[in-house]
A = this chain, B = another copy of it.
Amino acid sequence: MTNDASFTHHAGVLAAQGFRTAACTAGIKTSGKPDLAAVVNLGPDFSCAAVFTCNQIKAAPVLVSQESVANGQARAVVINSGNANACTGEQGRTNANAMARDLAQGLGVDNSDVLVCSTGLIGEQLPMDVVSAGIHHLCARLQDDQAGESTAADQAAAAIMTTDTVPKTTVAVGNGFVVGGMGKGVGMMAPSLATMLVVLTTDAKATPDMLQQALDQAVAPTFNTLDIDGSTSTNDTVVLMASGASGIEPSQSELNNAVLSACDDLANQMQADAEGVTKRVTIRVRGALSDAEALEAARVVGRDNLVKTALFGSDPNWGRVVAAVGMAPVTMNPQGIGVAFNGHTVCERSTGAAGAREVDLSAPDIAVEVDLGTGSTGEAFVRTTDLSYAYVEINSEYST
């Protein structure tokens, strides 16, 4: 975020012109914290694109939103925390549709122009009485003029939190246009709670195809490189809405850059706030036959519990990195693996380097670099975390 006054005032989803947002405590969360939010596109354009979880088990709101966004248009998104509305069968589908309908009626738009996101416990039906009352309340608040207001955007970012410890908002400034956004979670990081959710807004003029292309290229190196525990939730959703209110028509590459910047910022915030984190770890793999193979190898290392526990212990145990990478189903030179921790070479040609055991990993950021030794230039990275006592504690607490 810059120090530019015009952006410190308009944070998150209100950083872009042509949007309104509201949040409230509907009573879905037993904690009594805020649990419902809506973001509304005031136009003049209503272009929209989205990316959804690749988990085969998709929550009801994902199925509903996939249908609604198919035509590239959306006027609003309604989001609840405290309940994922996943594994809830026909009733869950009915409830997700009801959420869209309730907001659409309040705004005077078509049901199919409202997307729905939910995050929280899997397998429970939504308490539709309080959800409907909450949406009714949101509609009233959305009538207010929010020009110059940053409170509403911050409140919306707080209302979509589950076990996040801080709200996550972002602003990226393009050439005459702005991309704003908010997000929560990361993968299935939460204890029995699902979902990373992101809502991005822009006042650029852009077609749905442009938005989808910008989103796809941005998600790959940001949210898709974030691999805290290898899990993909039933609810993961990233939505990008464009109002066109700036009147600026950016090139595809200008739009791409701004969306990428916003996603990168949110992904970093998610990594830093992942459960039980004591280390932020980047695994970069080089020397693979292709970028795709490098990514696959990086994921195997980043998901390895023995690597993650070693890093929790600040232990430069490169043998675990080599053993992990050797499991990756990609081409490598088994006698030619290189490993570096924080820029210090600890393994060359699959053999320990001098001083390898003395590398200091006590700081909270750890960079792991692996060269697969094929001589090719395939490269990729993932962001992960260590595996700590706190991770076990948070994730083993009873769900009910």
CA–CA, A210 to B124, complex, Å?
54
Quick check: A56 and B326 within 8 Å, CB to CB?
yes
Confirm or deny: A141 has a beta carbon within 8 angstroms of a beta carbon on chain B: no
Confirm or deny: A55 has a beta carbon within 8 angstroms of a beta carbon on chain B: yes
* Residues on the B chain within 8 Å of A303, using CB: 230
Quick check: B324 and A231 within 8 Å, CB to CB?
yes
Interchain CB contact (< 8 A) of A389 among B55, B351, B389, B398:
B389
Chain A interface category by residue count = 35 or more
Q: Which residue of B lies closest to A194 (CB)?
A: B323
Quick check: A188 and B315 within 8 Å, CB to CB?
no
Q: Label chain A's interface by main secondary structure.
A: loop
Q: Across the A-B interface, give the 3 residue pairs with the lowest CB-CB distance, nearest first.
A: A122-B319, A57-B326, A313-B396
CA–CA, A399 to B335, complex, Å?
23
Confirm or deny: A221 has a beta carbon within 8 angstroms of a beta carbon on chain B: no
Quick check: B332 and A56 within 8 Å, CB to CB?
yes
CA–CA, A350 to B351, complex, Å?
48
Report the stretch among A246-254, A266-274, A286-294, A304-312 that lies at the interface: A304-312
Quick check: B56 and A323 within 8 Å, CB to CB?
no
Quick check: A395 and B305 within 8 Å, CB to CB?
yes
Contact with B along A250-284 (1 / 0, CB 8 A): 00000000000000000000000000000000000
A187 smallest CB distance to B (angstroms): 9
Q: Which residue of B lies closest to A311 (CB)?
A: B396
Quick check: B192 and A319 within 8 Å, CB to CB?
yes
Copies of the protein in its oligomer: 2
Confirm or deny: A357 has a beta carbon within 8 angstroms of a beta carbon on chain B: yes
Binding site for B on A (CB under 8 A): 55-58, 84, 86-89, 92, 121-124, 188, 191-192, 194, 229-234, 303-306, 309-310, 312-315, 317-320, 322-328, 332, 334-335, 337, 347, 349-352, 356-357, 387-389, 391-393, 395-400
- Once A57-B337, A357-B400 are accepted as A-B contacts, the answer to whether A312 and B194 lie under 8 Å apart by CB is no
Q: List 29 A-B contacts (CB under 8 A).
A: A56-B326, A56-B328, A57-B323, A57-B325, A58-B334, A86-B319, A86-B322, A87-B350, A89-B335, A122-B319, A123-B347, A191-B309, A192-B306, A192-B310, A194-B319, A194-B323, A230-B304, A234-B319, A305-B391, A306-B395, A309-B395, A309-B396, A313-B398, A314-B398, A317-B399, A319-B399, A387-B392, A389-B389, A392-B392
